A and B are shown apart, each in its own frame.
Chain A
Amino acid sequence: MRLGRISKALGVAAVAALALSACAGNSGGTSSSSAAAAKSGGTATVVEVNAFNTFNSNTADGNTDINSKVAYPTHSSFYYIDNKLNVVHNDKFGKFEKISDNPLTVKYTINDGVKWSDGAPVDASDMILQWAVASGYYNDADATGKKGTSYFSYAGDTTGLGLTSFPEIGDNNRSITIKYSKPFADWEIALDMSAAIPAHVLAQKAGLKDSQAFIDLLKGLPKGDPKAPKPANAQLKKMADFFNTGFDTKTLPSDPSLYLSDGPYIVKSMTPDQSLTMVRNKDYNWGPTPSLDEITVRYIGDSAAQVQALKNGEADIVSPQASSDTVEQLKAIQGVTVDQGNQLAYDHLDLNFSGPLKDLNVRQAFMKTVPRQDIVDKIIKKLDPNAKPLDSQIFVPQQASYADSVKSNGSADYQSVDIDGAKKLLNGATPTIKIMYNKDNPNRVDAFSLIRESATKAGFKIVDGGLGKSDWGKALGDGSYDATIFGWINPGVGVSGIPQIFKTGNGSNFNKFSDPAADQLMDKLIQTTDKTQQNDLEKQIDQKIWASGYGLPLFQSVNVDAYSDRITGVKLMPNQTGVWWNFWEWAAK
């Protein structure tokens, strides 16, 4: 009896063992293969704040910093911008040149042998697509959006290429020639292939035969006219729809044509909201040669977490939001190099040309009370010991013309706080000034506190008009305040941004600054294609702005990068490309 039970139990056990071995994994003993990850060129892990979500960073929704940063090493372009804000041409990819000044005509040629990672050549069709996107040529939606169609969504500015007609294609489908109807100052950076979408893929997705069919389709379509909207072209609409959303993904698509690369790297794997890995594009030989075999991007929002990840060796390169404590912590880590420098973003104080500040004397008196040096000392100095107050409304110190402009633009009058001078200008008056700022930004809050402290001494009555992060933007220009502290981003390259802010009646001219002479200079500037002349005009505009008691630039934001000693070649970059600008120089020790 007992034996019977035991044998039964053994039988059950045997069956169970069989069943178990049947469901065992077949991947036995593979754990050693992953140890071979460290290959010859080495790897690096870069930390970014936001998570990647689309392979098309051209669109309004897709144009986030991380999407652009991933697009950058997976694309090649005619030029890149270096950390001195020069436009550097990449002749191995192709060349572009101005062949006529009147009318302004630019010819772009891509070299033979430059190809996408599926083997298709990078050619005129790709440039035509990028041109169609960046010019908004076919859009005929009117301002209300009720009639007409917007085809390709584009986050950038269409004014430049918007002046052009359909390009001429030549050199066996390798070149296009773009003709402008008016001179355009920023022609050099108008057509950027650094986030281009392959036209042949888009054509296929829209049901066209090949890229030639794509060119033929676009060539046959008229320029869109918002005043006379026409019914949408079905094929173009289909293509545009795919362009706008078809490349959105958080996981690696099963269709490799959605993430083609014509740059040094190609995306290999993605974990949603955690990481993305790029490996070398083996065909690539048309530009600077990278040395790392693999770059992994990890997303960490919290800057303290970034610092600790670097310290724990989980990350090699971080660029956390700068604060003096972060910098100090980074410097305290052994085996880590910390770089600090200026960013192109800067905070400034703008005075309204109305209300209590209508009078130039009052504005100037107020400007005399602003403790710019103190603000820099307390807010920025700990981050960057070399920080100085920003002394130009137009230039940043990275630009060669900054020093020149500062000498003559009149900023010398506002180098230090002059309470007596301010009192004299006020002549006994005690104007009440309401200052509006984003009270969720600690730098602005602190700048406000310091300005209030100082301006009160000269007799100003300061009212705290700080608003929350979702309100202050709406309040800009609505007249509910007398002065405001906020930030602009200087693009660093190009001049189109200047009239946006300073020209009479323009959208971003919030304090209603108006100077006919400056307006004229800006009209001229936007049509000047010569660099030296541009600089001359900009200096004159800078001077006019300072003379008008516009307000004061306060300081540039600080950029901090830190990288582990495993990695060499990381260099600071002031614009939004960040550390990525020279990724090909990164090397693992």
Chain B
Amino acid sequence: MVTYIVRRLITAVLILLGASFVVYILTAASGDPLQEYRGSNLPNVADLIKARTQLLDLDTPAPLRYFKWLAGAGGCLIPFAGSCDLGKNLAGQPVTAALGQAMTQTLGLVTAAIILAVLVGVFLGIITALRQYSALDYGVTFMAFLFFSLPIFWVAVLLKEYGAIDFNNFLRDPQIPLLTALTIGLVVAVLAWIISGGAVKRRAVSAAAAFVVVTAVLLYLSVTNWFRSPGLGPVVILIAGAAIAFGVTLLSAGLKNRKALYSALITVGLGIIAYYSVQGLLDQATPLMIVLLAIATVLVGAAVGYFMGGYDRGQNMRAGGITAFLIGVLIVADKYMQNWPDYFNNGRVRGRPIATIGAATPNLNGDYWVSGLDAFTHLILPTVALVLISLASYTRFTRSSMLEIMNMDYIRTARAKGLSERTVVMRHAFRNALIPIATVVAFDIGGLIGGAVITETVFAIPGMGVLFFDGISHVDPNPVMGVFIVTAITAMVFNLIADLVYSALDPRVRVKS
């Protein structure tokens, strides 16, 4: 295994060298950095040309310049030495500083987008595979391809218009008229009709239930001015928690496994107690604390499962752990909502929380919760845009992977021995269908960073995309190179991880060592 990793790493370095050389030559050939001076009528144009030639070392032919650049870039491998040198941009500033900045922004954006896209995409992929050639399947396929086909700047403009500007206008006086509530309820009911499938009666029941619940909730929220001062409160957390407990148990262990169900329900009870006890602590939250709390929560949930005992402790622990985590998410979400009015009425925000540009409100200086909300309101639209366009590949891939697996002999065997459909889907099919998705995700990360170029430009987020775009349009080779290197390394690393995960998940893939 170690030999394999070492060998992979060495190949990776060689590939990186090759790729950077090719890209360097291409970038150098792509334009003339002196172009803005060529037609200039400035009196000191000769000086300016000289200065820039010196800055970018244009007298050296590009292939030789690459090796000089490489020597500087090699410095980045030595940690903490500060010898990292990726060249300078046209303004004479080192690329490394700008790149470091941009990297954080882009990776933040892309991480959230990719997680969401994978979750939603896999979910949709599975249900469309289980309902192949149904209205749902065609609908999802059509929507996925449609979003995939939309130019992203178009999506961005629409999102800003309706998701930010109109939503903010709505928040000024968050009343939902009866007619709107009824319409939304109706739409949800239609969706429920399509999704639920099965006999007409079943469909009708779920549609009616969805209609009543959604309309009632909307009207309740409107009457209580919920959008201005949102919150979940212990009651909602308790109800949602119970639902989560049943859902998680259903998916992970089956409702027949009473021990698992009880562990999940006990965890919910503990969660409600925790809800009251951690409020004071949460007021002084830091990111580290939230992470530690999350770990503790999962451990408590698992512990409950462990102490429940029974014939399969693993299942109890899984049910308890997952439930605990989700309850924790609810509590944190509730805390964020409690801080919403504070954020909303902030003098910098001026009651228009959803932002169309940038990654943060300048000079906000809020605490953990307020700055968290600020990051949320800024990142939500670009993330949604990225998710919409990358959804298609995950949905389609999961669907075909799932379909293939559902026709495998071992699935037939599983059915034949009388396992419930849930067990067949969740235990046998789903996990195996996930394996190839690991590779797709790894491939997609490079592409998504590339695709973020336009999203960042439209949302004015100073990430790598903007850096790259600026570099291309001003014929500024070094930042372009910097972005290439970072995305290439990211893609490379994720490919490596995917290969390792692959061999861990699938015993058939043997590692050649």
Q: Are B346 and A37 in contact (CB under 8 A)?
A: yes
Question: B443-487: contact bitstring with A at CB < 8 Å (1 yes, 0 no)?
Answer: 000000000000001111010001000000001000000000000
In the complex, which of the residues B43, B342, B475 contacts A157, with contact meaning CB atoms closer than 8 Å? B43
A463 in the interface (beta carbon within 8 A): no
Q: Are A309 and B356 in contact (CB under 8 A)?
A: yes
Q: Which residue of B lies closest to A33 (CB)?
A: B365
Residues of A contacting B458 in the complex (Cβ-Cβ under 8 angstroms): 302, 304-305
B31 in the interface (beta carbon within 8 A): yes
In the assembled complex, the CB of B108 is this many whole angstroms from the nearest CB of chain A, namely 13
Question: A298-309: contact bitstring with B at CB < 8 Å (1 yes, 0 no)?
Answer: 111110110011
Residues of B contacting A159 in the complex (Cβ-Cβ under 8 angstroms): 43
Q: Are A37 and B348 in contact (CB under 8 A)?
A: yes
> Which of B44-52, B75-83, B181-189, B322-330 is the contact stretch?
B44-52
Residues of A contacting B45 in the complex (Cβ-Cβ under 8 angstroms): 507
Q: Are B92 and A248 in contact (CB under 8 A)?
A: yes
Within 8 A of B (CB), among A33-87: 33-38, 45, 51, 53-54, 60-62, 64
Instruction: Given the known inter-chain contacts A37-B348, A472-B39, please indicate yes or no for A274 contacting B364, CB distance below 8 A.
Output: no
B191 in the interface (beta carbon within 8 A): no
A29 in the interface (beta carbon within 8 A): yes
Among A20, A64, A268, which residue has the most Cβ atoms of chain B within 10 A?
Answer: A20
B318 in the interface (beta carbon within 8 A): no
Q: Which residue of B lies closest to A500 (CB)?
A: B41
Question: B370-405: contact bitstring with A at CB < 8 Å (1 yes, 0 no)?
Answer: 100000000000000000000000000000000000
In the assembled complex, the CB of B102 is this many whole angstroms from the nearest CB of chain A, namely 8
Q: Are A250 and B369 in contact (CB under 8 A)?
A: no
In the complex, which of the residues A141, A271, A313, A472 contacts B168, with contact meaning CB atoms closer than 8 Å? A313
Q: Are B284 and A26 in contact (CB under 8 A)?
A: yes
Within 8 A of B (CB), among A495-542: 497, 500-501, 507-508, 510
In the complex, which of the residues B35, B47, B347, B370 contacts A150, with contact meaning CB atoms closer than 8 Å? B47
> Which of B17-25, B234-242, B285-293, B407-415 is the contact stretch?
B285-293
Q: Are A277 and B362 in contact (CB under 8 A)?
A: yes
A21 in the interface (beta carbon within 8 A): yes
Q: Give the CA-CA distance A418 to B48 in the complex, in Å.
A: 44
In the assembled complex, the CB of A250 is this many whole angstroms from the nearest CB of chain B, namely 7
B208 in the interface (beta carbon within 8 A): no
Q: Are A24 and B281 in contact (CB under 8 A)?
A: yes
In the assembled complex, the CB of B382 is this many whole angstroms from the nearest CB of chain A, namely 11
A25 in the interface (beta carbon within 8 A): yes
Q: Are B357 and A34 in contact (CB under 8 A)?
A: no
Q: Are B41 and A470 in contact (CB under 8 A)?
A: no
In the assembled complex, the CB of B314 is this many whole angstroms from the nearest CB of chain A, namely 18
Residues of B contacting A277 in the complex (Cβ-Cβ under 8 angstroms): 362-363
Q: Are B362 and A24 in contact (CB under 8 A)?
A: no
Q: Which residue of A lies closest to B296 (CB)?
A: A16
In the assembled complex, the CB of B170 is this many whole angstroms from the nearest CB of chain A, namely 13
Residues of A contacting B97 in the complex (Cβ-Cβ under 8 angstroms): 250
Q: Are B285 and A25 in contact (CB under 8 A)?
A: yes
Q: Give the CA-CA distance A38 to B351 in the complex, in Å.
A: 13
A442 in the interface (beta carbon within 8 A): no
In the assembled complex, the CB of A372 is this many whole angstroms from the nearest CB of chain B, namely 23
Q: Are B289 and A24 in contact (CB under 8 A)?
A: yes
Q: Are A272 and B462 in contact (CB under 8 A)?
A: yes
In the complex, which of the residues A308, A314, A500 contacts B161, with contact meaning CB atoms closer than 8 Å? A308
Q: Are B164 and A308 in contact (CB under 8 A)?
A: yes
In the complex, which of the residues B93, B164, B342, B362 contacts A31, with contact meaning CB atoms closer than 8 Å? B342
| Interface size of B as a range | 35 or more
Among B41, B101, B168, which residue has the most Cβ atoms of chain A within 10 A?
Answer: B41
Instruction: Given the known inter-chain contacts A62-B91, A299-B460, please indicate yes or no for A308 contacting B165, CB distance below 8 A.
Output: yes
Residues of A contacting B342 in the complex (Cβ-Cβ under 8 angstroms): 31-32, 35
A7 in the interface (beta carbon within 8 A): no
Residues of A contacting B161 in the complex (Cβ-Cβ under 8 angstroms): 308
In the assembled complex, the CB of B426 is this many whole angstroms from the nearest CB of chain A, namely 30
Q: Give the CA-CA distance A497 to B178 in the complex, in Å.
A: 68
In the assembled complex, the CB of B12 is this many whole angstroms from the nearest CB of chain A, namely 31
In the complex, which of the residues B164, B346, B357, B466 contacts A298, with contact meaning CB atoms closer than 8 Å? B357
In the complex, which of the residues B44, B101, B356 contacts A154, with contact meaning CB atoms closer than 8 Å? B44
Q: Are B39 and A296 in contact (CB under 8 A)?
A: no
Instruction: Given the known inter-chain contacts A20-B289, A60-B51, A277-B363, please indicate yes or no for A474 contacting B92, CB distance below 8 A.
Output: no
In the assembled complex, the CB of B165 is this many whole angstroms from the nearest CB of chain A, namely 5
B259 in the interface (beta carbon within 8 A): no
Among A2, A158, A309, A312, which residue has the most Cβ atoms of chain B within 10 A?
Answer: A312
Q: Are B347 and A308 in contact (CB under 8 A)?
A: no
Residues of A contacting B460 in the complex (Cβ-Cβ under 8 angstroms): 274, 298-302, 305, 309
Instruction: Given the known inter-chain contacts A157-B43, A309-B356, A312-B160, please indicate yes or no for A31 contacting B289, CB distance below 8 A.
Output: no
Q: Are B41 and A20 in contact (CB under 8 A)?
A: no
A589 in the interface (beta carbon within 8 A): no
Within 8 A of A (CB), among B90-124: 90-93, 97-98, 101-102
Question: A1-22: contact bitstring with B at CB < 8 Å (1 yes, 0 no)?
Answer: 0100110010001001101110
B350 in the interface (beta carbon within 8 A): yes
Q: Give the CA-CA distance A27 to B40 in the complex, in Å.
A: 54
B32 in the interface (beta carbon within 8 A): yes
In the assembled complex, the CB of A379 is this many whole angstroms from the nearest CB of chain B, namely 22
Instruction: Given the known inter-chain contacts A26-B284, A34-B365, please indicate yes or no for A273 contacting B466, CB distance below 8 A.
Output: yes
In the complex, which of the residues B48, B50, B284, B358 contacts A27, with contact meaning CB atoms closer than 8 Å? B284
Within 8 A of A (CB), among B127-161: 157, 160-161
A476 in the interface (beta carbon within 8 A): yes
A411 in the interface (beta carbon within 8 A): no
In the assembled complex, the CB of A554 is this many whole angstroms from the nearest CB of chain B, namely 18
In the assembled complex, the CB of A313 is this many whole angstroms from the nearest CB of chain B, namely 5
In the complex, which of the residues A60, A150, A245, A296 contacts B363, with contact meaning CB atoms closer than 8 Å? A296
B498 in the interface (beta carbon within 8 A): no
Q: Are A271 and B347 in contact (CB under 8 A)?
A: no
Among B40, B161, B356, which residue has the most Cβ atoms of chain A within 10 A?
Answer: B356
Q: Are A508 and B41 in contact (CB under 8 A)?
A: yes
A280 in the interface (beta carbon within 8 A): no
In the complex, which of the residues B43, B51, B368 contacts A153, with contact meaning CB atoms closer than 8 Å? B51
Instruction: Given the known inter-chain contacts A19-B292, A34-B348, please indicate yes or no for A302 contacting B457, CB distance below 8 A.
Output: yes
Q: Are B39 and A60 in contact (CB under 8 A)?
A: no
Q: Are B292 and A314 in contact (CB under 8 A)?
A: no
Residues of B contacting A474 in the complex (Cβ-Cβ under 8 angstroms): 32, 35, 38-39
Q: Are A305 and B39 in contact (CB under 8 A)?
A: no
A143 in the interface (beta carbon within 8 A): yes
B303 in the interface (beta carbon within 8 A): yes
A311 in the interface (beta carbon within 8 A): yes
B503 in the interface (beta carbon within 8 A): no
Q: Give the CA-CA distance A37 to B365 in the complex, in Å.
A: 10
Residues of A contacting B358 in the complex (Cβ-Cβ under 8 angstroms): 274-275, 298, 314
In the assembled complex, the CB of A122 is this many whole angstroms from the nearest CB of chain B, namely 27
In the assembled complex, the CB of A57 is this many whole angstroms from the nearest CB of chain B, namely 11
A428 in the interface (beta carbon within 8 A): no
B360 in the interface (beta carbon within 8 A): yes
Q: Give the CA-CA distance A270 to B67 in the complex, in Å.
A: 35
The 6 closest A-B pairs by CB, nearest first: A473-B39, A273-B462, A508-B41, A37-B347, A24-B284, A28-B284
Q: Which residues of B are at the interface with A, using a C-beta cutoff of 8 A?
A: 31-32, 35-36, 38-48, 50-51, 54-55, 90-93, 97-98, 101-102, 157, 160-161, 164-165, 168, 281, 283-286, 288-289, 292-293, 296, 300, 303, 307, 339, 342, 345-348, 350, 352, 354-360, 362-370, 457-460, 462, 466, 475
26 A–B contact pairs at CB < 8 A? Answer: A13-B296, A23-B286, A24-B286, A25-B284, A25-B289, A26-B284, A29-B283, A31-B369, A37-B346, A60-B48, A61-B90, A250-B93, A269-B363, A271-B360, A273-B466, A274-B358, A298-B460, A300-B357, A300-B460, A305-B460, A312-B168, A312-B355, A313-B352, A470-B35, A507-B45, A508-B40
Question: Besides A20-B281, A277-B363, 12 other CB < 8 A contacts?
Answer: A20-B296, A24-B289, A38-B347, A61-B90, A157-B44, A271-B362, A302-B457, A312-B354, A312-B356, A313-B168, A314-B357, A315-B357
